[in-house]
Each structure stands twice: as C-alpha cells, then as structure tokens.
Amino acid sequence: MCCSLGIMRLRIAVIAKEDLAPALKNGGFDAVYIVKGAVEALGLIESIIRERSFDLVLLDDVVAKEIGKSRLSEIKYKHPLPAIVELKTARGRFTSLS
C-alpha cells in the first residue's frame, strides 16, 4: 500500500459482467473480476472485505441491481471499507433482469 516515498496508493478493484470487461482491462485497475451474477459478486465482495485486499471496489451497475439496493446498503453500513461504489454505465438502463 505504501511506496518508498511514503505516499499512499489506492488499491482499486472492479467487479463487472463479462460484457464490460474489454473496456476495463486496460483501465489501470489493480484487479478486474468478471462475475456471472449476484451470488458470485457477493462472494467476491465478502472475500475482499475479509482479506482487506482493496481500498475501493467499483461495482458494475448491472451487478449492483442484481444484488439489490438494500443488500448493498447493508454491506456498506457493516463494512465501510473498502468503499464500494456503483459504476454507472448506459447499458444498465437497457438490461432486463428477467
């Protein structure tokens, strides 16, 4: 987390569906995790919280919608770190969850 100059470096992970992966792969993130759905994403979030491996988690808005606002709010309340931020995309408005 610290460099030789004592400068803090933010460790950033992204959790997204496969269709968003190409746009994220070269984004300079420390890790890009591709998930199939909410269950896999929740397991990954729990692992990141437990291991304290990242400071910021960007969560694909489609995955966030699958997890549900109340569940995400509960996780954020119980575990303020890492910060979990929904990554807004245009495709989230057009994706059907049926």
- Residue 49's CB is within 10 A of a number of other CB atoms, namely 17
Alpha carbon distance 29, 78 (integer Å) = 25
H-state helical runs in the chain:
21-24, 38-51, 61-67, 69-78
* Per-domain residue ranges of the chain: 12-93
- The pLDDT of 61-86, averaged and rounded, is 97
One-letter amino acid for residue 26 of the chain? N
pTM, 2 dp? 0.84
Alpha carbon distance, N-terminus to C-terminus of the chain? 41
> Topology of 12-93 in CATH?
Rossmann fold (3.40.50)
Strands 56-60, 83-87: pairing kind:
parallel
Whether 83 has a pLDDT exceeding 70, the answer reads: yes
For 9-47, what is each residue's pLDDT tens digit? 899 999 999 999 888 888 999 999 999 999 999 999 999
Residue 82 main-chain phi, psi, to 5 deg: -70, 155
Q: What percent of the chain has pLDDT over 70?
A: 88
